[in-house]
Chains A and B, each alone.
Chain A
């Protein structure tokens, strides 16, 4: 079981790395919004917006 004297510190290094990655992700705003990015894959970029998309042209 002496291998544990190496394995556990190694495991802790991995945990530390995981935490560092998590801190980085939090700091760069990855967890600020967990809902809307999922929708972006659903949109297709084909149709360019028609000209009347701007409300300025509307005369309703």
Chain B
């Protein structure tokens, strides 16, 4: 960002040159980038919530368009709301709402305050960790539609969730895991406390009664840890075994149970080693890692949430000439719907009447709108851009194209095929070796001394899973996951850390990943006495009559104050209309300048140069010649080039797989410094490109944001989704970049590699120590006190080594968080 450019007061994005929109905040005019942000900022400050701007630590989402109050009209009807929401005591109703754009604690404070100010709101609880809010309100005093409107006005677009039970389940699951973690944490600390005197008692001599006592107390404390805290592992292992497969849970459960059983056996028998400290610490660190992982998964949301965000919950049905708002689930085949411009289709259908244009980018990745004359098919979740359409429903609920994709993903998510397999193979190999070794020991002892066969076998099994060895992997993974979470990278599946450290290729989506995914007016150049403000207003007034996707760039930035009359569309060239008696044209240069004989030179020489560099320009002209030129871009993320270069330096070559046109892809590829790119790929095509790379032995990281990337993400070895991307992409991702910036990606790769290094160091250290120390100790070469110190130090070394991972990545300090991303972009 150059020094001269200003950033939007609300969303922090650069303001297009030549554009002047001000929001009146606390008596001062603050510059904003679009009318959406203006409306949101003024509403926030007008409602006395201006403190939000002081407290927030991440910039807000760009509003794009001013709030549209009519979007929520369906939620004003009491009988509909009654069916969508849950009953609370005293006639109140409650609903859970997913808030898009909720980034930080200040955002949740804002949502909470804005709603609490409304009369009739009984309770609001906003959870920034899951981006969900629970509202309880009195339907006699306030309508749900009004509450949703308030949320939209403060810039947090609400998505009411019908599936509240799943929300509730997730909450209970989190609480349950936290309790089990607490038991393991408390327990392991207590057991450690008893273990220290036991170790040193070995060295300095200890009263046998006291030793016995300590061991029994350790056992008592370990029982809840092993049984209650370890339960999820046993359950997972049992499920895997029943499905005739081996998951990570199997060796983990076996390790815990064997070490625990052996220790209990020895503690009760009064001789032999006890490993209660190892068992409890193992359960605690493993549980900690799983807990962090679970939080990330919940944040990413379930597939059901994704569907809720895409498909509207209500639809406008026409029956016997009467139009009524109904719940989307009530729709049946053959129903007739009216879908107005700007609305999303609630079901699949066939166009009966109207000549529309539909944005199907979420399903196909095609960035141009698709014409939908009568008789053509439209799909649930796609966006009607233009004129109202009458649609006859052909598929509802589980039969739509969208829900087909969702179901596919749901199944894939449940199976989690790719990485799990690699980890499982390793686990099975490890497990096999141990079991064979144990069987040999058992057989040998059976002939030597049958009475000692069982304890000896247990000893072997436990020794293969000694304290330091058992801590090596879980501590490192937990530390890395936590360090990444602090930097805004959520790890949904920890296996991804291992795969990421081995990655060899990167496959990028273009729109929304390398670029911001929004066509915007980047620059305005005028000639003559027209101000850029005036030019933008005229352009917006003309373009509001158009259905072309580019038109949105204008209607978002300029306020169409005046209405153009007698407009006419010239296909492929532009439009012409009359504003205040002035004949104006907008479109290609030849077309816009066509009203006058000689175009004004200074605008287009400059523009001509830019045209060669591949920018897209739109011109405005009247009878006196060209008035203005607008540069339109889907802006490249400022950090994209830097990120690609840093990843290349780490040995990860990039490649673009995009659904967009070849020209646009080539341009972006060039600007990011990416040599290999493929355009016009369907989701299937992207997946095939990925499979091709994988066949060559590549480990591929895929980065994407849209629904059309979901299959790609699912097939990739490591899937990375953008924080602002579609919910569906996030559900199939391993890593989610919450701050919606690519900057953390190279760092994540480095950290993944460091994590693998630390795990290897830990394992090497633990194995070496155990191999060296055990025989020596058994032969009596090491005095017991030295063995005791060595044993404790060995574990401490492993834990400290793992902790280096979290220290190496200092979290950004709060005030710096707003400033630094922009500072870096300078």
Mark A residues whose CB is within 8 Å of B: 1, 4-5, 8, 11-12, 15, 18-19, 22-23, 26-27, 31-36, 38-40, 42-43, 47-50, 52-56, 58, 60
Residue in B closest to A11 when the chains form the complex, CB atoms? B190
Q: How far is the CA of A23 from the CA of B183 in the complex (A)?
A: 9
Instruction: Select from chain B the residue with minimum beta-carbon distance to A56.
Output: B146
- Chain B residues lying within 8 Å of A32, measured Cβ to Cβ, are 127, 171, 174-175
> Contacts A18-B186, A26-B178; is A35 near B128 (CB within 8 Å)?
yes
Q: Give the distance to chain A from B72, nearest Cβ to Cβ, in Å.
A: 10
In contact, A36 and B66 (Cβ under 8 angstroms): no
The complex places the Cα of A40 from the Cα of B116 at a distance, in Å, of 13
**What residues of chain B lie closer than 8 Å to A4, measured between beta carbons?**
210, 213
In order of increasing CB-CB distance, the 7 nearest A-B pairs are: A35-B105, A53-B47, A39-B109, A36-B108, A55-B149, A33-B127, A47-B48
* Nearest residue, chain A, Cβ from B109: A39
Q: Mark B183-208, 1 if CB is under 8 A from A, else 0.
A: 10010001000100000000000010
Tell whether A43 pairs with B51 under 8 Å between CB atoms, given A1-B210, A4-B210, A54-B118.
Answer: yes
- Is there contact, CB below 8 Å, between A12 and B217? yes
* Complex Cα–Cα for A17 and B67 (A): 52
Please list 21 pairs of residues, one from A and one from B, whose beta carbons are closer than 8 Å in the complex, sorted by A's number: A5-B213, A18-B186, A22-B179, A22-B186, A26-B178, A26-B182, A31-B175, A35-B104, A36-B108, A36-B112, A36-B127, A43-B51, A48-B48, A49-B47, A49-B117, A50-B46, A54-B146, A55-B67, A55-B69, A55-B150, A60-B66
Residue contact B186 to A15, C-beta cutoff 8 Å? yes
13 further contact pairs, Cβ within 8 A, besides A15-B190, A35-B129: A5-B213, A11-B190, A12-B221, A23-B182, A32-B127, A32-B175, A33-B108, A36-B127, A39-B105, A48-B48, A50-B46, A52-B46, A55-B149
B108–A53 CB distance below 8 A: no
* B48 touching A50, Cβ below 8 Å: yes
Q: Name the contact of B153 in the complex, choosing from A12, A27, A40, A55 (C-beta under 8 A).
A: A55
Contacts of B190 in A (CB 8 A): 11-12, 15
* Bound-state Cα–Cα, A53 to B150, Å: 9
- Contact mask B87-117 → A, CB, 8 Å, 1/0? 0000000000000000011101100110001
Chain A residues in 8 Å Cβ range of B47: 49-50, 53
The one of B106, B127, B179, B183 that contacts A39, using a Cβ cutoff of 8 Å:
B106
Nearest neighbor of B220 in chain A, beta-carbon distance:
A12
Q: Which residue of B lies closest to A34 (CB)?
A: B129
Is B445 an interface residue when CB atoms closer than 8 A count as contact? no
Shortest distance between the CB of A50 and any CB in chain B (Å): 6
Give A34 to B125 CA distance when docked, in angstroms.
12
Asked if B128 and A36 make an inter-chain contact with CB atoms under 8 angstroms apart, the answer reads: yes
**Shortest CB distance B615–A (Å):** 32
Task: Tell me whether A38 and B179 are in contact in the complex, defined as CB-CB below 8 angstroms, given that A1-B207, A32-B174, A43-B51 are known contacts.
Answer: no
